[in-house]
Structure 1
């Protein structure tokens, strides 16, 4: 029996840059590489599908709308030490959308991949 992964598709401007970002900074490994059109990277039970401008996912819709990267939907990655992760990623010049925010369930911060897709790092509150 195979393990089923949750898959999320991100549209990206540059598949190779996106693969480098996720594998270098966020602990993903390459699952499938058909760059420059498409690649898939995996971290735990999450498969992130990285679709470039020449992929089928980037084709215009019947109404003429063209899919593009960015937006506010995001993957949510749980970390043990948010402060340490933010310091490590800032040292690597990874762009952030905000500073750490404290909430009732924990702490979070938003960063961006090379195409502008948002990634949330989250440290749950102690219980």
Structure 2
């Protein structure tokens, strides 16, 4: 038996939590341009981010409940309270366009700065208070 974990392929899904799924849907669809592809009213809405990448937005009250004994998909309870964080990679030459887009949509910019390596990030909040970052992928180079 090896002590080294097997490799992973990457991030498949990330989750945020929002009590108001209608507001979350409007934000992620109408402001951020992500299309919802699965919705269970009162429980969740899922969005495609890119090929093989999904953003899951759950109502924390609904996902805190354990699955019923006869559940077809016995997903264990999960959830978070309070603001989370989600970062979308954006080409550096598109960050000004994103800033302009957010301002037109009335979304306040919480921060817009350059990291010590010169890469830039823009921070904003979704309707649930989650910290959303649009960043040049070079922040991790």
Question: What is the aligned partner in structure 1 of residue 72 from structure 2?
Answer: none
Listed as ranges, the gaps of 5+ residues in structure 1 are 60-65
Map of 1:36 onto structure 2: 42
Q: Please give the secondary structure, in 1, of the residue aligned with 2:27.
A: helix
TM-score, structure 1 normalization: 0.76
RMSD of equivalent CA atoms: 2.4
Q: How many residues align?
A: 114
Q: How far apart, in 2, do the equivalents of 1:16 and 1:55 lie?
A: 15
SS for the counterpart of 2:128 is: coil
Q: Which structure's CA Rg is the greater one? A: 2
Partner of 1:78 in structure 2? 90
Q: Which runs of 5+ in 2 are unaligned?
A: 1-9, 66-78
Name the SS for the 1:86 alignment partner: helix
Relative to the length of structure 2, the TM-score reads 0.69
Choose which of 101, 112, 137 in structure 2 pairs with 1:88.
101
Q: What is the CA distance between 1:40 and its match in structure 2?
A: 0.5
Q: Could you say which structure has the higher strand fraction?
A: 1
* Cα shift at 1:53: 4.2
Larger RCO: Structure 1 or Structure 2 (Cα < 8 Å, ≥ 6 residues apart)?
1
